[in-house]
Amino acid sequence: MKRVIPLVLLSALAACSSNSTPLKAVKQPVANGPKNIIMVIGDGMGPAYTTAYRLFKDDPSTATIESTVFDDILVGRSSTAPAQISGYVTDSAASATALASGHKSYNGAIGVDTNKMPVQSVLEYAKSIGKATGLVVTSQINHATPASYAAHVEQRNQYDDIADQYFDRKINDSHVVDVMLGGGWKYFIRPDRDLTKEFQKDGYQYINDYAQLNSINSDQVLGLFADKGLPWALDDKQPHRLKKMTMAAVDRLDNNEQGFFMLVEGSQIDWAGHSNDIAAAMAEMDDLAHTLQWLKSYVVNHPDTLVIVTADHSTGGFTIAANGEYKWTPDVLSNLKNSPQAIAKQQKKHGFDHKKISELLGLNLTKQESDTLEQAHADGKKSLHSALKKLLDTRSNTGWTTGGHTGVDVPVFSFGSGSEKFSGQQDNTDIAKRIFALLGK
């Protein structure tokens, strides 16, 4: 049976932790730091992903390879190892806890140290000094990364407990997070509790459709747009949904005179890596890139804003070129109408259709490719999904070494007020420590 940290103890434990303050803190001015801080995490986005995105977006008709937003804002890199008890390769929970609190912890830990004691996050501290706070993600909003900034449980899979803490825990007599946008109906609307109604009773506006992002009239918002995570960018009616949610969140948070702290996560880059799905990975990277381009324009008009971007780890052992061949041809990924997963589902429902599958892939299939896919279709949806990903890997010459995480260092990007503090080689805990310092702690 999972041990849940009692809510009654959280406040006291937080006060005792070496990097924590009581949940009800005295508001204080912040000297010499940026008014707004936006932390962006590309989950699973190791260095191969940003390089691949540059090549994916390259215009082959020009003599040079064009740079992307990631190239323009690169400042350093970060090590990612968890606490020694978990070895050298981190999961998202331990890494997010490090990025949020400055504390190393074990794989699976959400906002707690190796002794399972709560540690204060930069978001929580920002809230305690009067800043507005936000979480914007493409996973469920109580997934490992966002949870590590706003909750404290011993294991990342305690999804209901995390959702409950989003409502039950208070800082300065208000909920920890003012704006929450992402997926997660499953965990917020349950037989035992409907958190959407509880939030609404406390003055939050609840929305459940992207179209409603344009008509938010409250500075406290809960937006849930899927049962768990959002659809793949390739399948979503709003392919740049992270950008759209980020714009809506900033619009509300910006109303706070003392500024805001916001966590933005391109969550499904990681999921694409776990699935070894190069098509989904590049579409998720594109969503994140569009988000960063918009944030750059926001910082131009709001120079008192800092944006830090990094990954929690790398996923999939993704390699640009495979099988000893010195080539990578990402152009074959440019015309997909849906993700391989959605194509497999559609084909299983309606029967194998060579013409339709070619159209959805945006490719002219050879007879051998078509025969291979038809045989996979006969073996079931899962087999067809795997065959579609394999076809795209073969066509693009993409390689993968694992369905899990790897231990490589990850890039760090930053722009805006105070961005120079994140340059060079650093540990993931250093990022949180520098944010705390900028917040005046």
What CATH number corresponds to the domain at position 380? 1.10.60.40
User: What is the model's pLDDT at position 28?
Assistant: 53
Backbone angles phi, psi at 414, to 5 degrees: -165, 150
Q: Which helix (H) or strand (E) holds 181?
A: strand 179-183
pLDDT at residue 306, as a whole number: 98
222 and 281 share one domain: yes
| Residue 109 placed within a domain | yes
Instruction: Place 31 in a pLDDT band, splitting at 50, 70 and 90.
Output: low
| E strand or H helix at 307 | strand 305-310
Residue 311 domain-assigned?
Answer: yes
1 lies in some domain: no
Alpha carbon of 409 to those of 72, 81, 376, 395: distances in Å?
Answer: 19, 9, 37, 29
Structural domains of the chain, count: 2
Q: Which domain holds residue 35?
A: 7-319+404-438
Q: What is the mean pLDDT of residues 202-208?
A: 98
- Whether 30 has a pLDDT exceeding 80, the answer reads no
Dist. CA 45–CA 311, nearest whole Å: 5
92 classed as catalytic: yes
Is residue 2 a part of any domain in this protein?
A: no
Mean pLDDT of 8-22: 39
Residues 121, 31 within the same domain: yes
On whether the CB atoms of residues 70 and 311 are closer than 8 A, the answer is no
Mean pLDDT of 52-75: 97
pLDDT of 77 > 50? The answer is yes
Asked whether residue 271 is assigned to any structural domain, the reply reads: yes
Whether residues 201 and 349 share a domain: the answer is: no
Long-range contacts (CB closer than 8 Å, 24 or more residues apart) made by 18-23: 18/119, 19/101, 19/102, 19/103, 19/119, 19/120, 19/436, 20/118, 20/119, 20/120, 21/120, 21/125, 21/128, 23/124, 23/128, 23/169, 23/170, 23/171
Can you tell me the distance from the alpha carbon of 80 to that of 93, in angstroms, rounded to the nearest whole number?
12
Q: Is the per-residue pLDDT at 255 higher than 60?
A: yes
Residue 11 has pLDDT above 60, yes or no: no
pTM: 0.93
Same structural domain for residues 299 and 368?
no
Are 74 and 148 in the same domain? yes
Same domain, 22 and 142: yes
Q: What is the residue type of 229?
A: G
Residue 174 pLDDT > 60: yes
Average confidence (pLDDT) over 400-426? 98
For residues 84 and 109, membership in a common domain is answered with yes
Based on the fold, state whether residues 227 and 346 are members of the same structural domain: no
The amino acid occupying position 147 is A
Same domain, 44 and 177: yes
**Mean predicted confidence (pLDDT) in 274-283:** 98
> Are 221 and 194 part of one and the same domain?
yes
186 domain residue, yes or no: yes
Q: Does residue 139 sit within a domain? A: yes
CATH number at residue 282: 3.40.720.10
Average pLDDT score over the chain: 93
Confidence of residue 32 (pLDDT cuts 50, 70, 90): confident
Q: Is the pLDDT of residue 225 over 50?
A: yes
List the catalytic residue out of 78, 92, 339, 396: 92
**Alpha-carbon distance values, 197 to 201, 253, 303, 318 (Å):** 6, 22, 37, 42
Whole-number percent of the chain with pLDDT over 90:
91
Let me know whether 17 and 136 are in one domain.
Answer: yes
Same-domain check for residues 361 and 259: no
Lowest average pLDDT, out of 16-25, 259-268, 339-348, goes to 16-25
**CA diameter of the chain:** 70
Residue 118 falls inside a structural domain: yes
